[in-house]
Amino acid sequence: AQKITQTQPGMFVQEKEAVTLDCTYDTSDQSYGLFWYKQPSSGEMIFLIYQGSYDEQNATEGRYSLNFQKARKSANLVISASQLGDSAMYFCAMRGRRTGGGADGLTFGKGTHLIIQP
C-alpha cells in the first residue's frame, strides 16, 4: 500500500531560520514521484517542488529544496531563510500506483502546520 507519513503536526520557527519538514513514504513501485504543496489559510494548494524516483540530484526551486534519501524512503522539504509568508500547512504527496487503484492522482500525508515567528 502506498503511504505518506508526516510526523510533525506543527512547527514554530524563527524568521530567517532554515526549516526542515519531514516526510517518509512507503511504496512497492520502482517508479514514483514525490511532491510538496503549501496550503495557506485561503485553502488553495500551491505546488512547491517535485522529485522523481530516478532523479539522481535533489530538486531545488528557489528557497525550497528536497532532501531525497531513496534508501531511507524519505523526502524532506528544506526551506532556507524562512519568511513570515511561509506560515501555512505543508503537505508531502506521492504519485504512484495506489492499492486497488491506478497510478494517477496523488496520495497525501496529513500535513505539517508551520508557523514562522518574527
| 108 backbone dihedrals φ, ψ, rounded to 5° | -105, 150
Count of other CB atoms within 10 angstroms of residue 61: 12
Contact between 102 and another protein (CB under 8 A)? yes
Cα–Cα distances (Å) from 2 to 5, 33, 48, 49, 64, in that order, read 10, 12, 21, 20, 25
For the segment 22-51, give every residue that binds another protein (CB under 8 A): 33, 35, 37, 42-47, 50
Query: 3-class SS at 86?
Result: helix
Which of 15, 52 has the CB closer to another protein? 52
Which of 43, 118 has the CB closer to another protein? 43
Contact between 110 and another protein (CB under 8 A)? yes
* Number of residues near another protein (by CB under 8 A): 26
**Residue in the block written with cell 500535513:** 111
Summarize as ranges the residues that interact with another protein (CB under 8 A).
4, 33, 35, 37, 42-47, 50, 52, 91, 93, 98, 100-102, 104-111
